[in-house]
Amino acid sequence: QKEVEQNSGPLSVPEGAIASLNCTYSDRGSQSFFWYRQYSGKSPELIMFIYSNGDKEDGRFTAQLNKASQYVSLLIRDSQPSDSATYLCAVTLYGNKLVFGAGTILRVKS
Amino acid sequence: DTGVSQNPRHKITKRGQNVTFRCDPISEHNRLYWYRQTLGQGPEFLTYFQNEAQLEKSRLLSDRFSAERPKGSFSTLEIQRTEQGDSAMYLCASSSQELNTEAFFGQGTRLTVV
Protein backbone atom coordinates (compact mmCIF):
# COMPACT_ATOMS: atom_id res chain seq x y z
CA GLN A 1 0.00 0.00 0.00
CA LYS A 2 1.35 3.38 -0.97
CA GLU A 3 1.85 5.88 1.81
CA VAL A 4 -0.15 8.58 0.01
CA GLU A 5 -2.77 7.76 -2.60
CA GLN A 6 -4.57 9.98 -5.06
CA ASN A 7 -6.75 9.30 -8.06
CA SER A 8 -4.64 10.07 -11.09
CA GLY A 9 -7.56 11.59 -13.00
CA PRO A 10 -7.91 13.47 -15.13
CA LEU A 11 -10.70 15.20 -13.27
CA SER A 12 -12.61 17.42 -15.67
CA VAL A 13 -14.87 20.20 -14.42
CA PRO A 14 -16.52 23.09 -16.22
CA GLU A 15 -15.39 26.63 -15.56
CA GLY A 16 -17.07 28.04 -12.47
CA ALA A 17 -17.74 24.65 -10.89
CA ILE A 18 -16.29 23.20 -7.69
CA ALA A 19 -13.39 20.80 -8.14
CA SER A 20 -12.93 18.22 -5.40
CA LEU A 21 -9.57 16.50 -5.05
CA ASN A 22 -9.04 13.65 -2.63
CA CYS A 23 -6.12 12.01 -0.89
CA THR A 24 -5.73 9.17 1.57
CA TYR A 25 -2.70 8.29 3.61
CA SER A 26 -1.66 5.11 5.35
CA ASP A 27 0.42 6.19 8.34
CA ARG A 28 -1.50 7.38 11.39
CA GLY A 29 1.68 9.13 12.50
CA SER A 30 1.25 11.65 9.70
CA GLN A 31 1.12 15.09 11.19
CA SER A 32 0.95 17.75 8.52
CA PHE A 33 -0.80 17.72 5.18
CA PHE A 34 -0.03 19.81 2.16
CA TRP A 35 -1.49 20.53 -1.24
CA TYR A 36 0.82 21.57 -4.03
CA ARG A 37 -0.07 22.63 -7.55
CA GLN A 38 2.25 21.72 -10.39
CA TYR A 39 2.03 23.03 -13.92
CA SER A 40 3.57 20.96 -16.68
CA GLY A 41 7.35 21.27 -16.66
CA LYS A 42 7.39 23.39 -13.51
CA SER A 43 8.17 22.66 -9.88
CA PRO A 44 5.46 22.16 -7.23
CA GLU A 45 3.96 25.31 -5.75
CA LEU A 46 2.46 25.23 -2.27
CA ILE A 47 -1.25 26.04 -2.12
CA MET A 48 -2.24 25.16 1.42
CA PHE A 49 -1.34 23.14 4.45
CA ILE A 50 -3.47 21.81 7.27
CA TYR A 51 -2.69 19.87 10.45
CA SER A 52 -5.86 20.01 12.52
CA ASN A 53 -9.06 18.14 11.84
CA GLY A 54 -11.68 20.19 10.04
CA ASP A 55 -11.65 22.77 7.30
CA LYS A 56 -9.20 25.49 6.42
CA GLU A 57 -10.13 28.10 3.85
CA ASP A 58 -7.90 30.38 1.81
CA GLY A 59 -9.61 32.31 -0.95
CA ARG A 60 -11.13 29.88 -3.42
CA PHE A 61 -9.39 26.91 -1.80
CA THR A 62 -10.58 24.83 1.15
CA ALA A 63 -8.59 21.99 2.65
CA GLN A 64 -10.41 19.39 4.70
CA LEU A 65 -8.75 16.94 7.06
CA ASN A 66 -10.22 13.89 8.75
CA LYS A 67 -7.52 12.08 10.70
CA ALA A 68 -9.84 9.31 11.84
CA SER A 69 -10.53 8.39 8.23
CA GLN A 70 -6.97 9.26 7.14
CA TYR A 71 -8.38 11.46 4.46
CA VAL A 72 -7.56 14.94 3.23
CA SER A 73 -9.23 16.83 0.42
CA LEU A 74 -8.95 20.07 -1.49
CA LEU A 75 -11.94 21.96 -2.82
CA ILE A 76 -11.48 24.61 -5.47
CA ARG A 77 -14.48 26.90 -5.84
CA ASP A 78 -15.24 28.84 -9.01
CA SER A 79 -12.71 26.80 -10.96
CA GLN A 80 -10.83 28.67 -13.67
CA PRO A 81 -8.96 27.35 -16.71
CA SER A 82 -5.77 28.59 -15.03
CA ASP A 83 -6.42 26.04 -12.26
CA SER A 84 -5.73 23.26 -14.78
CA ALA A 85 -2.67 21.52 -13.39
CA THR A 86 -1.59 18.48 -11.41
CA TYR A 87 -2.43 18.66 -7.72
CA LEU A 88 -0.09 16.86 -5.37
CA CYS A 89 -1.02 15.77 -1.88
CA ALA A 90 1.87 15.44 0.58
CA VAL A 91 2.18 14.45 4.21
CA THR A 92 4.94 14.68 6.77
CA LEU A 93 5.67 11.66 8.92
CA TYR A 94 6.77 12.36 12.48
CA GLY A 95 7.79 15.87 11.49
CA ASN A 96 10.38 14.60 9.08
CA LYS A 97 10.33 13.89 5.39
CA LEU A 98 7.58 15.01 3.08
CA VAL A 99 5.94 12.12 1.20
CA PHE A 100 3.97 12.80 -1.97
CA GLY A 101 1.17 11.10 -3.79
CA ALA A 102 1.34 10.66 -7.55
CA GLY A 103 -0.94 13.63 -8.15
CA THR A 104 -4.35 14.25 -9.71
CA ILE A 105 -4.63 15.98 -13.06
CA LEU A 106 -7.32 18.65 -13.06
CA ARG A 107 -8.75 20.05 -16.28
CA VAL A 108 -11.06 23.03 -16.14
CA LYS A 109 -12.97 23.47 -19.38
CA SER A 110 -14.08 26.91 -20.48
CA ASP B 1 16.81 35.85 -0.90
CA THR B 2 13.40 35.21 -2.35
CA GLY B 3 13.30 31.46 -2.67
CA VAL B 4 15.07 28.18 -3.27
CA SER B 5 17.56 28.35 -6.11
CA GLN B 6 18.77 25.38 -8.16
CA ASN B 7 21.51 25.22 -10.74
CA PRO B 8 21.74 24.31 -13.49
CA ARG B 9 18.16 24.38 -14.74
CA HIS B 10 18.90 21.88 -17.47
CA LYS B 11 21.65 19.36 -17.92
CA ILE B 12 22.25 16.99 -20.83
CA THR B 13 24.97 14.44 -20.30
CA LYS B 14 26.26 11.31 -21.92
CA ARG B 15 25.72 8.00 -20.22
CA GLY B 16 28.58 7.19 -17.88
CA GLN B 17 29.44 10.79 -17.07
CA ASN B 18 29.21 12.32 -13.60
CA VAL B 19 26.94 15.28 -12.91
CA THR B 20 26.56 17.60 -9.94
CA PHE B 21 23.61 19.80 -9.07
CA ARG B 22 23.48 22.64 -6.59
CA CYS B 23 20.68 23.87 -4.34
CA ASP B 24 20.64 27.09 -2.34
CA PRO B 25 17.79 26.99 0.19
CA ILE B 26 15.88 29.85 1.74
CA SER B 27 18.42 31.37 4.10
CA GLU B 28 16.62 30.85 7.40
CA HIS B 29 15.63 27.25 6.58
CA ASN B 30 17.72 24.55 8.18
CA ARG B 31 16.06 21.58 6.47
CA LEU B 32 16.85 20.74 2.88
CA TYR B 33 15.32 17.96 0.81
CA TRP B 34 16.16 16.35 -2.52
CA TYR B 35 13.48 14.71 -4.64
CA ARG B 36 13.38 13.12 -8.07
CA GLN B 37 10.36 13.31 -10.31
CA THR B 38 9.61 11.47 -13.53
CA LEU B 39 6.72 12.09 -15.89
CA GLY B 40 3.35 11.27 -14.41
CA GLN B 41 4.69 10.61 -10.94
CA GLY B 42 4.83 12.61 -7.75
CA PRO B 43 8.19 13.70 -6.35
CA GLU B 44 10.10 10.74 -4.96
CA PHE B 45 12.06 11.34 -1.78
CA LEU B 46 15.84 10.93 -2.11
CA THR B 47 17.38 12.40 1.02
CA TYR B 48 17.17 15.23 3.50
CA PHE B 49 19.45 17.30 5.73
CA GLN B 50 18.96 19.15 8.93
CA ASN B 51 21.73 21.71 8.95
CA GLU B 52 24.81 19.78 7.77
CA ALA B 53 23.60 16.38 8.97
CA GLN B 54 22.12 13.98 6.44
CA LEU B 55 19.28 12.48 8.47
CA GLU B 56 17.70 10.10 6.00
CA LYS B 57 18.49 8.59 2.65
CA SER B 58 16.00 6.64 0.58
CA ARG B 59 16.60 2.90 0.39
CA LEU B 60 15.91 3.21 -3.31
CA LEU B 61 18.87 5.52 -3.76
CA SER B 62 21.73 3.89 -5.61
CA ASP B 63 25.30 4.15 -4.33
CA ARG B 64 25.96 6.25 -7.42
CA PHE B 65 24.06 9.09 -5.76
CA SER B 66 25.63 11.21 -3.06
CA ALA B 67 24.54 14.44 -1.45
CA GLU B 68 26.33 16.88 0.79
CA ARG B 69 25.56 20.00 2.73
CA PRO B 70 28.95 20.83 4.20
CA LYS B 71 28.22 24.08 6.01
CA GLY B 72 24.51 23.68 6.52
CA SER B 73 23.75 26.14 3.76
CA PHE B 74 23.81 25.07 0.09
CA SER B 75 23.72 21.42 -0.92
CA THR B 76 25.05 19.42 -3.84
CA LEU B 77 23.72 16.22 -5.35
CA GLU B 78 26.15 14.18 -7.41
CA ILE B 79 25.29 11.31 -9.69
CA GLN B 80 28.20 9.17 -10.78
CA ARG B 81 28.26 7.03 -13.92
CA THR B 82 24.90 8.29 -15.09
CA GLU B 83 22.42 5.93 -16.71
CA GLN B 84 19.48 6.67 -18.97
CA GLY B 85 17.15 5.79 -16.12
CA ASP B 86 18.53 8.74 -14.17
CA SER B 87 16.81 11.12 -16.58
CA ALA B 88 14.32 13.06 -14.45
CA MET B 89 13.61 16.37 -12.79
CA TYR B 90 15.65 16.76 -9.61
CA LEU B 91 13.92 18.97 -7.11
CA CYS B 92 15.26 20.64 -4.01
CA ALA B 93 13.06 21.98 -1.23
CA SER B 94 13.72 23.67 2.08
CA SER B 95 11.80 24.24 5.28
CA SER B 96 12.38 25.32 8.83
CA GLN B 97 12.87 22.75 11.55
CA GLU B 98 9.61 23.51 13.24
CA LEU B 99 6.80 20.99 13.11
CA ASN B 100 3.93 21.72 10.76
CA THR B 101 5.79 24.14 8.54
CA GLU B 102 5.72 24.10 4.81
CA ALA B 103 8.47 23.16 2.38
CA PHE B 104 9.18 25.34 -0.65
CA PHE B 105 10.63 24.02 -3.87
CA GLY B 106 13.22 25.36 -6.24
CA GLN B 107 12.68 25.37 -9.99
CA GLY B 108 14.36 22.02 -10.38
CA THR B 109 17.15 20.67 -12.55
CA ARG B 110 16.05 18.64 -15.53
CA LEU B 111 18.58 15.94 -16.31
CA THR B 112 18.66 14.16 -19.64
CA VAL B 113 21.06 11.28 -20.06
CA VAL B 114 21.73 10.37 -23.69
Q: What is the pLDDT of residues A56-110, one digit of tens each?
A: 999 999 999 999 999 999 999 999 999 999 999 999 876 678 899 999 999 999 9
Better-scored residue on pLDDT, A14 or A95? A14
Residue of A nearest to B88 (CA): A41
Q: With b meaning 16 or more CB within 10 Å and e meaning fewer, what string describes A49-86? A: bbbeeeeeeeeebbbbbebeebebbbbbeebeeebbbb
Q: What is the mean pLDDT of residues B7-28?
A: 97
pLDDT of residue B62: 87
Q: What is the pLDDT of residues B27-46, one digit of tens each?
A: 989 999 999 999 989 999 99
pLDDT of residue B99: 60
Q: How does DSSP assign chain B, residue by residue?
A: --S-EEE-SEEEE-TT--EEEEEE--TT--EEEEEEE-TTSPPEEEEEEETTEEEEE-TT--TTEEEE-TTSS-EEEEE-S--GGG-EEEEEEEE-SSTT---EE---EEEEE-
Distance between A100 CA and the closest CA of chain B, angstroms: 6
Task: Mark yes or no for CB contact A43/B106 under 8 Å.
Answer: yes
Q: What percent of chain B has pLDDT over 70?
A: 96
Mutate to test the interface with B, among A32, A43, A48, A86 (most CBs of B within 10 A): A43
pLDDT of residue A95: 60
Task: Mark yes or no for CB contact B99/A95 under 8 Å.
Answer: yes
pLDDT of residue A94: 67
**pLDDT, averaged across chain B:** 93
DSSP one-letter code for A80: -
pLDDT band at B96 (very low <50, low <70, confident <90, very high): confident
pLDDT of residue B43: 95
Distance between A75 CA and the closest CA of chain B, angstroms: 19
pLDDT band at B67 (very low <50, low <70, confident <90, very high): very high
Q: Is the pLDDT of residue B111 over 60?
A: yes
Task: Mark yes or no for CB contact A46/B91 under 8 Å.
Answer: no
